[in-house]
Chain A
Amino acid sequence: MKAIMPGLTILLGGAMPAFAIGWMGSHAMDAIGRNPEAAGKLQTVLILVVAFAEAIAIYSLVIALILKFV
């Protein structure tokens, strides 16, 4: 149980943000395709929002590390 839990934590916690980031990226591509002049503005916002989604993966990574080492 102790061996499998960190793996499961990072599996679920990594899959959801990966999906979210992929979705954001695809919509940003759509937006840039429609309005290429907005690319600069979109990029800054995109990086910020991706960092938020990524934070969820990082939370689960921290929890997985705690489960593994503590």
Chain B
Amino acid sequence: MIHISLAAEPLYHVFGVPINNSLITGIVGSTVIIALFVSAARRVTLHPKSKLVNAVETICEMILDLVDEVFHDRAKARKYFPFLMTIFMFILVNNWLGLLPGVGSITVMTKEGLAPLFRGANADLNTTLALAIISVVMTQIYAARELGVAKHLKKYFSLNPIMTFVGMLELVGEFSKMVSFSFRLFGNIFAGEVLLAVIAFLAPLAAPLPFFGLELFVGLVQALVFTMLTLVFLAIATTDHSEYNHAEESVGH
């Protein structure tokens, strides 16, 4: 029977902290990203000949253009670009690492029985929930920094009864954002793994190949969706919406 486990399996315990198989893949993924970007950053020149530098530059430019398109402000886009790029690269690299041969097929013996040594980092709800919390909390912090804490909190808490109700909805919305962010990514990647396992079980060798292509595409789209949503929420949160009324008032006076 196919081995499908909804939760990541703990392999070792270090001082009582369980080390999951998806945590190991996540660390490998982070190492890959850091190595890639550090080695690209070292070779940057005015006219880089290195293919690696050009490739990294192309990805960065693509995301920067995307950010710029939403913010309509190059300075602001450059300010928030590192945060969004980190999210994009982490999700993309980890999605694609989960498709490599060996992930899920190399097993080690643990106390509970055989468990795969590697498991896609985003196929564990803990990773995606952490990403979702980072995304939502950082949006709040950036918004508070951009607009001021008092003005930002006014969005959620107000003495006006209608605005109190709207603020409550907004507050619930922040938590539902976390849930939808984490389940969307986890579900897509986990469902992909289950799909690949089932197809490989039903018809081995060539049959899973087109599905690998599909999963590569899904990995890219999900990384893009996560980044895009974070970007849009960030753009909405850091824009001052009361500006419009003030402008009208000053015209009236």
Contacts and interface: CB of A to CB of B under 8 A. Distances in A.
B180 interface: yes
A19 B222 CA distance: 21
Given A48-B224, A65-B6, A55 B191 contact: no
A67 to B, nearest CB: 11
B67 to A, nearest CB: 14
B191 A62 contact: yes
B225 to A, nearest CB: 5
Contact of A52 (B5, B183, B191, B225): B225
Contact of A62 (B4, B190, B224): B190
B interface, over-half SS: helix
Interface in B176-190: 180, 183-184, 186-188, 190
A15 interface: no
B6 A58 contact: no
Interface residues on B, range: 10 to 19
A69 B225 contact: no
Given A48-B228, A62-B190, 20 more contacts: A47-B221, A48-B224, A51-B221, A51-B222, A52-B225, A54-B188, A55-B184, A55-B188, A58-B183, A58-B184, A58-B188, A59-B183, A61-B187, A62-B183, A62-B191, A65-B6, A66-B6, A69-B4, A69-B5, A69-B6
